[in-house]
Amino acid sequence: MKKQTKIILTLIALPLIALLLFLSQELLNSYYSRIITLIGIYGIMAVSLTLVNGISGVFSLGHAGFIALGAYTSALLTLSPEQKEMTFLIEKLVWPLNSIQIPFFWATIIAGLVAAVFAFLIGWPSLRLTGDYFAIATLGFSEIIRIFALNLNSITNGALGLKALPDHTNVWWAWGWLLVTVACVLSLAYSSFGRALRAIREDRVAAQAMGINVFKHQLMAFVLGGFFAGISGSLYGHWLSTIDPRTNTFGILLTFNILIMIVLGGLGSITGAIIGGALFAFLSEWLRFLEGPINLLGFKIMGISGMRMLVFSGLFVIIMIFWPRGLMGRSEFSWDGLVSVFKRRYKR
Amino acid sequence: MSLLTLENVTMKFGGLTAVEDVTLRVEESEIFGLIGPNGAGKTTVFNMVTGHYKPTAGRILFRDNEITALQPDKITRTGIARTFQNIRLFKDLTVLENVMVSQHHTIASNGKAVTWFFKSVSRLGYSEKEREMRNKALELLSVLGLEMLANEKSSALSYGSQRLLEIARAMATGATLLLLDEPAAGMNASETAGLVDTIRRIRDDFGLTVLLIEHDMKLVMGLCERIMVLDHGRTISEGVPAFVQKDVRVIEAYLGREWVTVGK
């Protein structure tokens, strides 16, 4: 296929997606449009973790920590001073934060920057570790963030968390940021820089012997991953409209959920990450019917809570058996690939 | 001025002395062979030169600049590149990408890495440099006869081609000194003969200096201009192939003392 054709197809596809999103807003009820928003948010989380775990080969388990940082940062910036006055019951919020309120967009940017700064501070010492050791270090970091959130009463409101966040996150914010994330990560991954990152993933020793400063490259990928994790945290917080440090919403479970998404989609594939995120959001909502009472051939089964996750894990195992490298493997979506899939179908 | 100088280099791993007091000079644009029985410390010498190991004692100089115990990537940027005994290609990358990776440091070295990072994200001034790198990589591949395989995954190549690709990748770093660690291992006789020609050709055409480790004596004796023999981490002989071949200590190291006294 000619390069021009591909560009035209892409230029047609993007507004088409936008139109579909618009129609979904108009036609579907708010429950479905919320799920579509969630798909966008999961997409950002998965793509940013793909950059770190899939492309750079840095095995990070700290993603939820950056997401939580982003969520707290932007929430503290978008809540009105009056709301903060009412919410912070244990201790008063510290000075500059208690009297400012800025627009959602800038709050999200700042959330990303704060997460990126923390990613730098974590990555600087711990990227000298490799493999499992680095994973443990980042796991520890995300746990530290959680503990701080629970105890730093004058900033995070401790165990009470933050409530009644303004309902800013809609389909447009989520999918718009997803587009930005994908554009950045794609152009990075398919540049000389990304090639170097993939070389490091394949063979660290050889990459270094070819003149690549492994530490610096991995650190930069880690910081960019942290930035977009912070962005997704801001969106997620305003989607949930509460941040509760006692539950596992922003805890280690979130990291593992994102890991499931990117492994499901294919570790190292950016389009795979989005597909994985969409599938995860869709399945975990759709399978909810399993937890309600079911009428199965005349037998009434009472709802069993947790059944959803059981079936979900089963599905996950099945996918891993049939697609051991995930749905997309390491390849990306391409128009050529799509055409060849249809051709194969047609020949049969 | 020698291109590469090792001055009384010693490498100890705990109680084990892998390399002891080795002094070595490689002159500009020669092909120098490093041989010796298994476990003699040849690869250890390579690992010290390329910065993977830090010598316990001694100095390593490249063009009269000390490079002892610099980071491997820094040493590569000063102009020394290597291949690996156990092939270490970037398996999931294509042949072309493998060679292009080696040129990355020319655009992203030292402080420039950050700027290049933003350039990559924004794609500013990007495609021109990329095309340049691609052309250079293709040129190197055709020198080694791999241009037809440019878009294959490197893991799909035959063993012999993988060894050649390792050489192409090392050359793409822009190095003037190539360290080849057993380049002919696993090659058949005709491939080995081709390799000898190739190494000579790249030395002449690209003005390179080659330091190589090899067990194939026919290759070593035919290709190398000077040879150093290591045994148990010590230099036991050094000189032109004809001299080394006849050196009693070398025969002893390879075939045992009895061969020297009785065997003849």
Positive or negative, the CA dihedral B237, B241, B247, B251 is: positive
Q: What is the mean pLDDT of chain B?
A: 88
* pLDDT in the model for residue A204: 92
Interchain pair B89, A203: CB under 8 A? yes
Nearest to B178 by CA among B186, B187, B168, B165: B168
Q: Provide the pLDDT for residue A27.
A: 83
Distance CA A89, CA A189 (A): 46
Q: Which residues of A touch B97 (CB under 8 A)?
A: 195, 198-199
Distance CA A238, CA B11 (A): 59
- What pLDDT, on a 0 to 100 scale, did the predictor assign at position B260? 66
Tell me which residue in A195, A201, A224 faces B100 most closely, judged by beta carbons.
Answer: A195
The answer to whether the CB of B174 falls within 8 A of the CB of B168 is no
Tokens linked to A105: 């967009």
Q: What is the pLDDT of residue A348?
A: 56
Pairing of strands B234-239, B226-231: antiparallel
Distance CA A301, CA A310 (A): 16
Please check whether residue A159 is in contact with residue A246, taking contact to mean a CB–CB distance below 8 angstroms.
Answer: yes
Average the pLDDT over A27-49 and give the result.
91
- Domains of chain A with bracketed CATH: 32-347 (1.10.3470)
Highest mean pLDDT among A240-249, A269-278, A294-303: A269-278
Q: What is the CATH number of the domain that holds B161?
A: 3.40.50.300
Distance of alpha carbon A151 from alpha carbon A91, whole angstroms: 11
Confidence tier at A334 by pLDDT (50, 70, 90): confident
Mean pLDDT of B67-80: 91
Helix or strand or coil: residue B21?
Answer: strand
Question: Residues in chain B whose beta carbon is closer than 8 A to a beta carbon of chain A?
Answer: 50, 52, 71-73, 76-77, 81-82, 84, 88-93, 97-98, 100-105, 107-109, 113-114, 116-117, 119-123, 126, 129-130, 133, 169-170, 172-173
Rounded to the nearest angstrom, the minimum Cα separation between B144 and chain A is 18
Task: In whole angstroms, give the CA distance from residue A162 to residue B21.
Answer: 67
State the residue for tokens 């690996």: B84
HEC string of A19-83 equals HHHHHHHHHCCHHHHHHHHHHHHHHHHHHHHHHHHHHCCCCCCCHHHHHHHHHHHHHHHHCCHHH
pLDDT tens digits, A104-135: 999 999 999 999 999 999 999 999 888 789 99
Q: How many whole angstroms separate alpha carbon B37 and alpha carbon B256?
A: 11
| Chain A residue numbers touching B176 (CB-CB < 8 A) | none
pLDDT digits (tens, 9 = 90+) for B116-161: 677 777 666 667 788 888 999 999 999 999 989 999 999 999 988 9
**Whether B3 contacts B32, CB under 8 Å:** no
Task: Quote the pLDDT of residue B177.
Answer: 94
- φ/ψ (deg, to 5) at B91: -60, -40
Chain B contact for A208, CB < 8 A?
A: yes
Per-residue DSSP letter, B65: E
Strand positions, DSSP E, chain A:
294-296, 299-301
Structure tokens at B254: 């390879």
* Strand pairing report for B80-82 and B177-181: parallel
User: With 60 as the cut, is the pLDDT of residue A206 above it?
Assistant: yes
Q: Which residue of B has its CA nearest to A216?
A: B113
Region B177-181 average pLDDT: 94
Window 14-73 of A: residues touching B by CB (8 A cutoff) are none
What type of residue sits at position B230?
L
DSSP string, B23-40: EEEE-TT-EEEEE-STTS
Count the helix, strand and coil residues of chain A and give each as a percent rounded to the nearest 5. 75, 0, 25
In this prediction, residue A337 carries a pLDDT of 79
B172-201 average pLDDT score: 91
What is the pLDDT averaged over residues A32-40?
91
Residues of A in contact with B93 (CB under 8 A): 195, 198-199, 202
Residue B110 has pLDDT above 60, yes or no: no
Of B50, B71, B126, the CB nearest to A191: B126
> Domains in chain B: how many in total?
1
Measured between alpha carbons, how far is B186 from A212 in angstroms, rounded to an integer? 28
CB pairs under 8 A between A and B: 120
**Which of chain B's residues have a Cβ under 8 Å away from the Cβ of A201?**
92
pLDDT band at A231 (very low <50, low <70, confident <90, very high): very high
Domain residues for B247?
Answer: 4-263
Report ipTM for this prediction.
0.89
Chain Cα centroid distance, residue B187: 17
Tell me which of A55, A184, A186, A192 to substitute to probe the interface with B (most B C-beta atoms closer than 10 Å): A192
What whole-number distance in Å separates Cα of residue A293 and Cα of residue A274?
Answer: 32
Q: Do B88 and A216 touch (CB under 8 A)?
A: no
Query: Is there a contact between A199 and A206 (Cβ–Cβ < 8 Å)?
Result: yes
Ranked by mean pLDDT, the top range of A21-35, A110-124, A168-182, A275-289 is: A110-124
Chain-chain contact of B107 with A187 (C-beta, under 8 angstroms): no
- Residue among A184, A198, A208 whose CB faces B90 most closely: A198
A150 Cβ contact list (under 8 Å, min separation 6): A156, A158, A159, A245, A246
Chain B interface includes A213 (CB < 8 A)? yes
pLDDT in tens, B10-66: 999 988 889 999 999 999 989 999 998 888 889 999 999 999 999 999 999 999 889
Which of A88-97, A194-203, B176-185, B252-261 is least confident? Answer: B252-261
Which residue on chain B is closest to A211 by alpha carbon?
A: B73
B210-247 pLDDT, tens digit per residue, is 999 998 888 898 899 999 999 988 999 999 998 988 88
For the segment A176-195, the average pLDDT, to the nearest whole number, is: 90
One-character DSSP codes across B184-250: TTT--HHHHHHHHHHHHHHHHHHT-EEEEE-S-HHHHHHH-SEEEEEETTEEEEEE-HHHHHH-HHH
Instruction: Tell me the average pLDDT across A61-67.
Output: 94
Give me the pLDDT at residue A122, please: 93
Closest Cα in chain A, distance from residue B93 (Å):
7
Give the pairing of strands B4-13 and B16-26.
antiparallel
- Neighboring chain A residues of B105 at a CB cutoff of 8 Å: 210-213
pLDDT at B252 over 90: no
Strands B177-181 and B209-213: parallel
CB distance from A331 to chain B under 8 Å?
Answer: no
Please, what is the average pLDDT of chain A?
A: 88
Enter the tokens of residue B239. Answer: 């000189």
DSSP state of A174: H
User: Residue B241 corresponds to which amino acid?
Assistant: P
pLDDT reading at B111 higher than 60: no
Q: Does A198 touch chain B (CB under 8 A)?
A: yes
Nearest chain B Cα distance for residue A182, angstroms: 11
pLDDT digits (tens, 9 = 90+) for A151-165: 988 888 888 888 888
Tokens standing for residue A40: 């966008």
How many helices (H) and strands (E) would you count in chain B?
12, 10
Long-range contacts, stretch B121-126, CB < 8 angstroms, 24+ apart: B121/A184, B121/A187, B121/A188, B121/A224, B122/A187, B123/A187, B123/A191, B126/A191
- What's residue B50's pLDDT? 93
